[in-house]
Chain A
């Protein structure tokens, strides 16, 4: 099974900051890496699929990159609506594992 490791587990930042979250797979997953945003009490929302493709309706300040085992999610200029928990997930092969999550908090 493929293990996904996210870092950091939590992050404090201010509106307007640029932040980066990293995700590492235990083996190569090509570009089968997706990012989700979850706000308290809500279902997760797809942000980025196939490592770097922006889901329809997602602001362009979100950018995904990477391939193989190392991936990043970058938010170029944090907005108040971006404070949430972010998860990476591999869709290379079942079981479709998630990272442990990164909680992005307001500084």
Chain B
């Protein structure tokens, strides 16, 4: 059974850093594309970042240069390093598996809440 379990969310101050983790089971992250999607309170879904099988990455303009997606194949885990946090980064962050060919998001984690506030 495919499962994605996020962790690492919490309260942080503007300008701070946080690392989110996404532990995968039921498949290997090394052979899949993985992504992060976020949802601000009461708002819609916003795509954040993707890591492809060759470790190529892509970011939304709003987080480029501040966030870094990576994976640890030995731990079957995907990470999102979030630096220079802003109030507008406050959201639930979902880890998602991306279908390799059609790039749809077929499995989602339960989400982890990141709150940026002074």
Task: Mark A residues whose CB is within 8 Å of B.
Answer: 1, 32, 34, 36, 38, 43-46, 49-50, 55, 87, 89, 91-92, 94-101
Give min CB distance, A66 to chain B, whole Å. 15
Closest to B59 in A: A95
The secondary-structure label for the interface of chain A is: loop
What separation, in Å, do the CA atoms of A99 and B43 have in the docked complex?
11
Closest to B4 in A: A43
Closest to A49 in B: B104
Interface size on B, residues (CB 8 A): 22
Kindly name the residue among A44, A92, A95 whose own CB sees the greatest number of chain B CB atoms within 10 A.
A95
Chain B residues, CB < 8 A from A92? 103
Query: Would you give the 0/1 interface string for B24-60, flagging 1 where the beta carbon is closer than 8 Å to chain A?
Result: 0000000000010100000011110010000000111
Q: A43-B109, A44-B108, A96-B35 are in contact. Are A49 and B44 (CB under 8 A)?
A: no
What separation, in Å, do the CA atoms of A87 and B47 have in the docked complex?
12
Give min CB distance, B55 to chain A, whole Å. 15
Give min CB distance, A53 to chain B, whole Å. 9
Kindly name the residue among A96, A98, A99 whose own CB sees the greatest number of chain B CB atoms within 10 A.
A96
